[in-house]
Chains A and B, each alone.
Chain A
Amino acid sequence: MNTKLKVSKVSKIYPGCIANNNVSLDFESGKIYALLGENGAGKSTLVKILSGVINPDEGQIFLNDKLLKLNSPKDAKNNNIGMVFQHFNLFETLSVFENLSIDSEKNNYQLRILVNNILKKYNFKIDLDVPILNLSAGQKQKVEIVRCLIRNPKVLIMDEPTSVLTEQETEDLFLSLKKFSREGILIIYITHKLKEVLSLCDEVAVMRKGKVVSISRTVDEELSSLANKMIGENLNKIKKITSNNLSGEQILRVSKLNFNSEDPYEVNLVDINFTLNKGECLGIAGISGNGQNELFQILSGETLSNNGSIKFRNKEISKLNPKERREYLMAFSPEDRISQAAVPSLKIYENVALNNFKTSNFFEKGLFNEKKIKDHSKKILSNFSVNTDNVNLKSQFLSGGNLQKLILGRELITSPELLICFNPTWGLDVGAINYIHQTLVKINEQGKSIILISTDNDELLQLSDRISVINKGKLSKIMSADEVNPEKLGLLMGGGLVD
């Protein structure tokens, strides 16, 4: 039987923010629908309304022309709407089977048979009696999906399902979703990843600032058209002018750097040598886990190398800690924004104060100079277009893109001579990526230097003047960006050689 889901004029208003503004959408089974939008566009709010977690202020939802009253998640379940949240709703310390049985009316014996049949049918390999905390992210997601399938869902909603999956797991997931769709389950797929929309979905609705701005078939769309709809403006094409008029003044010289780790999970660095000129961007490519972490930590001073030298503006800095290196006008933006770059439970201005320089006078006689820090923080927020001006906000409430802007702002506001950043746009949406790329180009133009360690080859080719590839802790020959293409990078990243 065909399933029709209709969202009619749904609005949800939070203090200071219209999360959903008169949203109307029609869905029909047999197709996979994408709900596309940047972080904060209102997708998650709509999903929470559909799954009964929150109530809309206005509007109705119809399933097969029947008005639904979704006052709790139970109501959604009873109406055969299944939901897989971005953050898993699983109980980590309970076993897989206990997680499945908790909301099932069936007795354990019947349930086990049913679950085993589902696992077999879709070729999911999950041990039912291990606790959830022993599973990988992909397996946890499968448990969530099985939990929905137990109830014979008519509608299955997936909220940003691939954000925690590996590439292989993503492919598996897409195969399963296509299979569900063929079996008549209506699938709504929420994402901000454009490529996934084109490869998986049949129709796409784009949301922006709480409104649906476009509904179209994916065959009529391409990456750039979707990106423009999502951002609402034409993205500035970032054009890096490879400057031939580099002064040639050397700013950093790393020579004979070695690092042997006692930790078996770390990568040893072997004989790292490179130099960096003023105003230049050096890209370091590589498959993650080939020594990028270790290289970043040694350049930033989080760990010290066993031997070798790092000379920054003719001073030997290899034995200095990150704070001392910052005093010499180096700046760092680590890969993990939440645990390395910022403390999520601290307020914005407190996170700013963590970067405390001798000259910044944030503290007087050991006490907070609150006004000074707050003024400084406000300057960062406005200069780097973070979408809040409330410096008392806890950093955990910033979206990934805004947090990264804050971190970059904190690092850059002191006009450092060298910025070392590691995957600065990882997990961000198109708009934020664009902004950060523009910022990086701008600081190069101001004659400052960048080391960009990244696993995103497009980004590297776009921004770097010269590129090197790291593989198993060794750097390849450093190449001018003009002579590099994606194929060449790929070959080097896999450990191959090029002349």
Chain B
Amino acid sequence: MNIDINFLGILIGAIMASSVPLILAASGELITERSGVLNLGVEGMMIIGAISGFALMVITDNLFLAIIGSMLSGLLLSLIFGFLTQSLLTNHVATGLALTIFGIGLSAMIGKDFVGIPGKEFPLLFVNLKEVIPLFGPIFFGHSIVFYFAFLLPFGTNYFLKKTKIGLIVRAVGDSPISAANQGINVLLVRYCCILYGGAMCGLGGAYLSLIYTPQWIENMTAGRGWIALALVVFATWSPLKVLVGAIIFGGITILQLHMQAMGIRIPVQFLSALPYIMTIVVLVIISRDSRKIKLNTPTSLGQIFYKEK
């Protein structure tokens, strides 16, 4: 019985770990979208974060620098997006798609020389507590600092949006940039900050994959997680806590269906692989049914180009 409980703990811990990149990227994108900017470049920023984090780790042998570097590279990529959409007024959707394609290509080019190099062990926290407490030990302890940061992030984001003045301003800009500008709010500054923050979080999400989750570089290793993060934000109706729930469900079913495949349950593999996508959407649609809340949470100006009258 003891073995079962421990297995359960390890399983849940694994599920939570697998949802970390989604939580990071989706929380970042959520802030970007709440300011009215639709950045479809999440996948591109994640993969750039993944390769630059890994490359920096190999070159400097310093994990801290690698993590910071991955965030900066995501931020830089989003700066390109911000400049194009906010200063040059290009279309959000087209620019975001281009960013993703650019990011994937660039990462493959940089990553050529890093394929096959083994990663470095990332320091884990509270490892000794992991063995001591049954069930909860493996769930909550023995993870990286990024893991704890990711699970606190949705709560912080929620607090930021609902309780702080700056959060209020972000929501106001997303609701009506023209009204915000007429109120004397610097819409461009707010949107740039939100875009850059989103980029940094996506970069960190990518670095979690290449430095901690599977410490190595594989081309295209984000494998569509950026798109899932984008979908999570929408289906969670721009609510940070629902993003957290969605990310865990997605991670959970991904891990569970792998176990089911391994156990040889007679369900077509294709169906099992599709299961996380279907279930995440179904669950999020069900928990987000309140049409009033959807209306209140949806950034009204999402994806619209804003320019100031002179």
Contacts and interface: CB of A to CB of B under 8 A. Distances in A.
A55 B300 contact: no
Contacts of A103: 183-185
Contacts of B172: 91, 94, 98, 102
A72 interface: yes
A98 B172 CA distance: 9
B220 interface: no
Interface string A117-133: 00000000000000101
Contact of B171 (A51, A74, A93): A93
Of A73, A90, A91, chain B has the most CB atoms within 10 Å of the CB of A91
Interface in B183-219: 183-185
Interface string A61-81: 000000000001110010000
A101 B169 CA distance: 10
A431 to B, nearest CB: 26
A85 interface: yes
A74 B184 contact: yes
Contacts of A98: 168, 171-172
Given A102-B168, A102-B169, A91 B175 contact: yes
Contacts of B185: 102-103
Contacts of B309: 48, 53-54
A224 interface: no
Interface in B124-168: 165, 168
A93 B175 contact: yes
A133 B295 contact: yes
A397 to B, nearest CB: 14
B176 interface: yes
B171 A94 contact: yes
A52 B308 CA distance: 12
Candidate in B165, B175, B309, B310 with the most chain A CB atoms within 10 angstroms: B175
24 contacts: A53-B182, A54-B309, A55-B310, A73-B182, A73-B183, A77-B184, A85-B182, A88-B179, A89-B179, A89-B183, A90-B179, A91-B171, A91-B172, A91-B176, A92-B175, A93-B175, A93-B298, A93-B300, A94-B172, A98-B168, A98-B172, A102-B183, A103-B183, A103-B185
Given A74-B184, A92-B175, 13 more contacts: A48-B309, A51-B182, A52-B184, A53-B309, A73-B182, A85-B182, A89-B179, A92-B176, A93-B300, A98-B171, A98-B172, A102-B169, A131-B296
Contacts of A89: 176, 178-179, 182-183
B182 A54 contact: no
B168 A94 contact: yes
B297 interface: yes
A88 B175 CA distance: 13
B181 interface: yes
Contacts of B297: 93
Contacts of B295: 93, 133
Interface string A197-240: 00000000000000000000000000000000000000000000
A74 B172 CA distance: 16
User: Closest 7 A-B residue pairs measured CB to CB?
Assistant: A74-B184, A89-B179, A91-B175, A73-B184, A89-B182, A91-B172, A93-B296
B310 A54 contact: yes
Contacts of B180: 91
Contacts of A133: 295-296
A131 B175 CA distance: 12
Dominant SS among interface residues on chain A? loop
A92 B172 CA distance: 9
A103 B168 CA distance: 10
Contacts of A93: 171, 175, 295-298, 300
Nearest to A134: B292
A72 B297 CA distance: 29
A74 B185 CA distance: 8
Contacts of A74: 184
A241 to B, nearest CB: 49
B52 to A, nearest CB: 37
A451 to B, nearest CB: 39
B188 to A, nearest CB: 13
Nearest to A98: B168
A149 B89 CA distance: 36
Q: Which of A48, A53, A101 counts the most B-chain CB atoms under 10 A from its CB?
A: A53
A88 B169 CA distance: 17
Contact of A101 (B168, B175, B178, B310): B168
Nearest to A95: B296
Contacts of A131: 296
Interface string B278-306: 00000000000000000111101000000
B189 to A, nearest CB: 13
A368 to B, nearest CB: 24
Contacts of A52: 184
B106 to A, nearest CB: 37
A91 B185 CA distance: 13
A55 B309 CA distance: 9
A48 B310 CA distance: 10
B100 to A, nearest CB: 29
A93 B176 CA distance: 9
Contacts of B183: 73, 89, 102-103
Interface centre among B169, B179, B181, B185 (most CB of A within 10 A): B179
Contacts of B175: 91-94
A158 to B, nearest CB: 15
Nearest to B175: A91
A98 B164 CA distance: 11
Interface string A172-187: 0000000000000000
Nearest to B183: A103
A76 to B, nearest CB: 8
A103 B185 CA distance: 8
Nearest to A91: B175
Nearest to B162: A98
Interface in B26-57: none
Given A55-B310, A91-B171, A93-B297, A72 B184 contact: yes
B66 to A, nearest CB: 39
Interface in A1-59: 48, 51-55
Nearest to A54: B309
A91 B298 contact: no
